[in-house]
Structure 1
């Protein structure tokens, strides 16, 4: 799982970024103490850093230069400063991208993926395996033992999200939000229909209880 460090002093934005990226399957590492950030980066070894410009006691420009000396992880500036000179300075100091607030969520997620891909980080796995079940993302199929079933786009995203959060209870609201953020139209009724179809296909592979319903809480693998 790729690790993304979030260096943002606004708690609301920091929490939102952590939620959005967590829903996409990334491991998030929000920074809440802004002293010794380069040392925190060195110890954590993130695959990507989201960095604000306006931080307590210092600016993100100088911090970017220090981080660059601490590790080689790509840096995306996420800031409310929309001036061309700020963007030019940020990129000249080693930033890999520059996103202004308020950001468009799908665009931000797409640019995160693009920077990770350019940086040569480990690619997202093509196959997820949990509890004897294999989900083949590129093929759009799921298999167990010698059996294979084809999944729809919605079914793939639902199963992938649950497998990436295996062992945890995933609320229905989190699934709906994750699919919305992936630009897949889904509401509560659509989720129920897709879950029923997905479970039927898993049942055909001999795994009728693979996705458990935790009443009043959500779903769990």
Structure 2
């Protein structure tokens, strides 16, 4: 049974979501004190976090930063705020998805299932390591290592990188990336993919690999091998 941490201060909504998720055999935990979210996070050790933006004490962005500083656990934002910058901010902070309130519960379930399948199934493949541009890409540990150091990636970032390097030197279309990352692309803006790829590229820049993820305008992205440049 997967453990989900639901960081939501609206008690009636929390109860409704928890009851519905329990019906799908998810074990749902809440927050006992909104000034001590990280303590509950450490105790629960969730497989996925669902977090509202507007919370007592500190907002969801603050707690997303705190969680990301300790863990790559998948995070879904759940918020009534509909400004595009909220979605962009959530993705820049490392969230895996964004669901706007009010929402259809089937949409939330679909997103949860898609993320859990992606995060906890693909790393069971026999091949965990891949060499790319002189770096060791560890699919299981979500890390990329070369002589300049090691960078840790989020689940989404590693999934994007995996798709690209498995098709190295070939363009992977935006549609293919979106369909692979999110089961139902009707609820995903094109900008969401751009934010995720840009964040991946920025992380890779720390070890000198950012330039090897190239944008093909109007087509998609390509992971280049060093010797082709």
Give the TM-score category using the shorter length. Answer: 0.5 to 0.7
Q: Which residue of 2 aligns with 1:10?
A: 10
Q: What is the TM-score of this pair, normalised by structure 1?
A: 0.53
Contact 2:77 2:99 in 1 (8 A): yes
Q: How does 1:94-113 map to 2 (within 5 A)?
A: 94-113=94-113
User: Which SS does the other structure have where 2:87 is aligned?
Assistant: helix
In 2: Cα distance, 1:84 partner to 1:32 partner: 30
| 2:66 counterpart of 1:70 | no
Q: How does 1:85-124 map to 2 (within 5 A)?
A: 85-120=85-120
Q: Which residue of 2 aligns with 1:160?
A: none
- Per-residue deviation at 1:30? 1.5
Contact 2:6 2:30 in 1 (8 A): yes
Question: What do residues 3-41 of structure 1 show as CA deviations (whole Å, max 9, x unaligned)?
Answer: 001000000111111011100001111113112211211
Q: How does 1:10-29 map to 2 (within 5 A)?
A: 10-29=10-29
Please, what is the CA RMSD of the aligned residues? Answer: 1.7
Alignment size in residue pairs: 123
Moved over 2 A (4+): none
In 2: Cα distance, 1:2 partner to 1:88 partner: 27
Q: Which residue of 2 aligns with 1:207?
A: none
In 2: Cα distance, 1:3 partner to 1:122 partner: 19
Gapped runs of 5+ residues in structure 2?
A: 124-229
User: Which SS does the other structure have where 1:119 is aligned?
Assistant: helix
- Per-residue deviation at 1:122? 9.6
**Rg larger for:** 1
Q: What is the TM-score of this pair, normalised by structure 2?
A: 0.51
**Mean Cα displacement is larger for which, 16-25 or 36-45?**
36-45
Contact 1:78 1:101 in 2 (8 A): yes
